[in-house]
Amino acid sequence: MGYNCTVVVLHDALDQIEKDPNFGRNLANAIMSQYGHPRPCVSAGNHCNAAYVVESHHADHDVLVQVGGNMGRVVESRMIEGTRVTVAQLIAEIEESGASLEEVCLETGWPIDAAKKALKEVIDRMI
């Protein structure tokens, strides 16, 4: 499937991005640098942070990213075994619905044992 990446683009810099003939090359270099020495900020015109490369990942995985302050951060990239669902997505679904873990898994078809295991691993890391 290839790879995906998450990039935050500064809306205020769009006019400078449009005029910058090197922006595409600079963005590509910043994305490729994620595998070595990351240089996440990409400049355009008078904007030193016209774009910010948050992360890069294989397309077979889902990554939950939080965006704000002209940048982003990976919130969760651990998927529940046998699904394309992260632990953070599972927790959000439980909180939003008010249902129990078992009820959410029954409704969505997510494997309950794998969900419990993934949640336990996250909780064990926290304590």
C-alpha–C-alpha distance, residues 27 and 47, integer Å: 14
pLDDT(111) > 80 = yes
Q: What is the pLDDT of residues 53-95, one digit of tens each?
A: 998 887 777 787 889 999 998 877 666 666 777 777 788 888 8
Q: Is the separation of the CB atoms in 34 and 55 below 8 Å?
A: yes
Specify whether the CB–CB gap between 38 and 81 falls below 8 A.
no
Burial of 36 (0-12, 13-18, 19+ CB in 10 A): exposed
Kindly report, residue by residue over 30-42, the tens digit of the pLDDT: 998 877 666 789 9
| Chain mean pLDDT for the chain | 85
Rg (CA), the chain: 18
Percent of the chain with pLDDT over 90: 34
| CA–CA separation, 40 and 87 (whole Å) | 26
Place of tokens 């309950």: 112
Q: What is the pTM for the complete model shown?
A: 0.62
